[in-house]
Amino acid sequence: MTDNQGVRLQKVLADAGIGSRRHCEQLIGEGRVTVNGEKVFRFGERVDPERDVIHVDGRRVETRSEMRYYAVNKPRGVVSTMSDDKGRKSLADFVDVPERLFHVGRLDTDTEGLILLTNDGELAHRLMHPSYGVPKTYLAEIHGPIPRDLGRRLRAGVTLEDGFAKADRFRVYDQVGRRVLVEITLHEGRKHIVRRMLKHVGFPVQQLARIQFGPIKLGQLRPGTVRALNVVEIGELYKAVGL
């Protein structure tokens, strides 16, 4: 990009939410910013925010003005689509944004929790593709008591009707009487996978919620509400799928 075209790098970084322009100048001066893979030290550098690929500390900064990234907490009873021709409640009933978005994967209608929405096709494709193995974490309510070796069995893997499935992590999250909440992390997305795995080991799921997708946490987001991801979260999503 020639000297008088484009936008100054520190402004692009500040506009993307990295921090004040002064802070962004500091990052540039410290050699922490790359543009199209090249380290930039000059404050006056101009870039094209729609085309140039910018990283800070190795994390991609989304600078394209049209790109949107949201997290929604899908309530139970809502289908995981942006519209439903049978008139059932869908994600569009909760997400009131002007852009045409797609959902990154699905949850069962009776599962609640985190679904990412974006118009960034390449990112969405990679997040869903099994080859990137993006981990997803769920809280499942089951009836206890549970045996001590349940986690070990799930981490070792079980053979379901469509093949082998294993948990990456498993822990008891909470226990009140016979109601046991377990946290389970897997990096695959076959249909009803958590329900099928837990049923297979003798503990059918009573309630299920997804609380994390890759680096993005559901946090305090209430069911039926949506929030825009911040620049750090977007950078972490890119990183999770090698972009």
The residues assigned a catalytic role are: 108
Q: Which stretch binds ligand URA (CB under 6 A): 21-29, 41-49, 86-94, 105-113?
A: 105-113
Dist CA 92 CA 40 (whole Å): 42
Measured from the CB of residue 238, what is the shortest distance to ligand URA in angstroms? 24
Residue 3 burial by CB count (10 A; 0-12/13-18/19+): exposed, middle or buried?
exposed
Alpha carbon distances (Å) from 63 to 70, 110, 215: 16, 36, 20
Q: Is 11 in the site for ligand URA (CB under 6 A)?
A: no
Helix (H, G, I), strand (E, B) or coil at 90: strand
- Stretch binding ligand URA (CB under 6 A), from 6-14, 34-42, 191-199, 233-241: 191-199
The residue within the footprint of ligand URA, chosen from 63, 90, 111, 212 (CB under 6 A), is 111
Whether 226 contacts 95, CB under 8 Å? yes
107 lies in the binding site for ligand URA (CB under 6 A): yes
- Find the shortest distance in angstroms from Cβ 107 to ligand URA: 4
* Residue 231 tokens, joined: 């620049």
Contacting ligand URA (CB under 6 A), which of 194, 216, 234, 240? Answer: 194
Q: What share of the chain is helix, strand, coil (3-state, %, to 5)?
A: 25, 30, 45
Residue of the chain from 9, 208, 209, 231 that contacts ligand URA (CB under 6 A): 208
Task: By CB under 6 A, name the one of 193, 209, 216, 229 that touches ligand URA.
Answer: 193
The region of 84-92, 106-114, 121-129, 218-226 touching ligand URA under the rule CB under 6 A is 106-114
Beta pairing class for 111-118 and 207-213: parallel
Q: Which residue lies nearer to ligand URA by CB, 105 or 151?
A: 105
Whose Cβ is closer to ligand URA: residue 28's or residue 78's?
A: 78
74 Cβ neighbours under 8 A, 6+ residues apart: 80, 91, 94, 107, 111, 112, 113, 114, 115, 223
Binding residues (CB under 6 A) for ligand URA: these are: 107-108, 111, 192-195, 208
